[in-house]
């Protein structure tokens, strides 16, 4: 398969430049996988405009190159629009695009808008599935039947890692049943993808882009050891967005806590996390716990830009 090019464009609404020295953040979602936060800060000598990009772990795993361009426009009180500045960023991974405007007094009666274009070059989607992984062999000694097809699996590996399969194998041998063993909790493609990813994790460790694709199946088939490894990865090594990890925590009832996830989180992230994709899907209890955890870190009650009215 050849590489894929993903082109995203965005035209903002008008933003009024205010007199606050501390920046105000304006979140934009370019698509389901790419988010951007626009921040404008005023000082006595300049205005700093920043566009920070967030790519989900599926895109990051496939990312070959990233190019972002932004054009910043000013509109006066008469509605006249003209180009104020423009900038471009080319990196293997996205960071941010900054534009400094050094005549802040001229912006007092003007509004800003911007046009954003992002070009991502992506490798083909991750697909670990191979038919050879399910052929009969000395290790693949047990036959399962899913959607009428026979797959051979490593019984010892499944028995030692899955409470579900441990129960199934024990029950079958107790009752004297003969393989193939019917499995009805998933589709054939789901099972193949999960098992091939599981084999890869056993050999090479967990990667961020695998987690969202295997959590559902790991929970369904009660892979307790795998779930424990995922929890350890999410709280120690993962680069997945913290809000998304909290969403995982709630949806799959993972054995991790909010302090495990948040840690010593930079204030720049806390100021914008309520804008992130999965924040609105978190429970009210988690929202409150995030606030409490943050205030405990900062030892104050007014350091964050959002409060309960935002959620």
* Mean pLDDT (the chain, rounded): 84
Fold of 4-122: Immunoglobulin-like (2.60.40)
Read off the pLDDT of residues 23-68 as tens digits, 9 standing for 90 and up. Answer: 667 788 888 888 888 887 777 677 788 888 888 898 988 999 999 9
226 exposure class (CB count in 10 Å sphere: 0-12, 13-18, 19+) = buried
Read off the pLDDT of residues 57-100 as tens digits, 9 standing for 90 and up. Answer: 989 889 999 999 999 888 877 788 888 888 888 877 677 888 87
* Residues 226, 161 contacting (CB under 8 angstroms): yes
- pLDDT on residue 109: 58
The tokens for 235 are 């709280």
Shortest CA distance to 191 belongs to which of 234, 230, 133?
A: 133
> What are the boundaries of each domain within the chain?
4-122, 131-236, 242-310
Q: Is beta strand 34-42 parallel, antiparallel or unpaired with respect to 24-29?
A: antiparallel
Where do the DSSP E strands lie in 210-291? none
pTM over 0.85: no
Can you list the pairs that 46-50 forms with residues at least 24 positions away whose Cβ atoms lie under 8 Å? 46/100, 46/101, 46/102, 46/104, 47/17, 47/100, 47/101, 47/104, 47/107, 48/23, 48/98, 48/99, 48/100, 49/98, 49/99, 49/100, 49/101, 49/112, 49/114, 50/23, 50/96, 50/97, 50/98, 50/99
**For 176, phi and psi rounded to 5 degrees?**
75, 25
Fold equal for 4-122 and 131-236: no
- pLDDT on residue 301: 41
Read off the pLDDT of residues 166-225 as tens digits, 9 standing for 90 and up. Answer: 998 887 665 545 668 888 889 999 999 999 999 999 999 999 999 988 999 999 999 999
Given CATH 3.30.710.10, say whether it is the number of domain 131-236.
yes
**pLDDT level of residue 22 (50, 70, 90 thresholds):** low
């Amino acid at each position: 398969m050849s590489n894929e090019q993903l082109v995203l464009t965005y035209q903002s609404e008008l933003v009024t430049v205010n007199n606050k020295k501390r920046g105000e953040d304006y979140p934009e979602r370019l698509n389901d996988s790419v988010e951007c936060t626009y921040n404008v800060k005023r000082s006595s000598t300049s205005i700093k405009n920043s566009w920070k990009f967030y790519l989900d772990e599926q895109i990051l795993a496939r990312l070959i190159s990233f190019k972002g361009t932004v054009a910043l426009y000013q509109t006066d009180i008469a509605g006249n629009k003209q180009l104020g500045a423009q900038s471009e960023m080319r990196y293997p991974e996205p960071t941010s695009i900054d534009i400094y405007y050094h005549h802040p007094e001229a912006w007092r009666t003007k509004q800003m808008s911007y046009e954003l274009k992002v070009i991502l070059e992506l490798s083909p989607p991750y697909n670990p599935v191979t038919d050879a992984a399910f052929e009969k062999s000395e290790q693949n000694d047990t036959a399962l039947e899913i959607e009428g097809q026979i797959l051979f699996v490593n019984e010892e590996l499944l028995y030692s890692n899955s409470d579900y399969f441990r129960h199934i194998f024990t029950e079958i041998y107790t009752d004297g049943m003969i393989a193939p063993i019917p499995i009805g909790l998933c589709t054939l493609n789901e099972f193949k993808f999960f098992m091939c990813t599981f084999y890869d994790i056993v050999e090479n460790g967990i990667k961020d882009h695998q987690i969202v694709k295997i959590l559902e199946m790991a929970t369904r088939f009660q892979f307790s050891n795998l779930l424990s490894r995922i929890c350890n990865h999410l709280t120690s090594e993962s680069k997945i967005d913290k809000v998304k990890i909290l969403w995982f925590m709630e949806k799959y009832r993972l054995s991790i806590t909010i302090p495990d996830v948040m840690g010593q989180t930079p204030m720049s992230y806390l100021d914008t996390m309520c804008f992130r994709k999965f924040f609105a899907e978190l429970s009210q209890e988690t929202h409150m716990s995030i606030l409490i955890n943050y205030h405990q870190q900062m030892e104050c009650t007014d350091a964050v830009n959002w409060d309960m009215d935002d959620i």
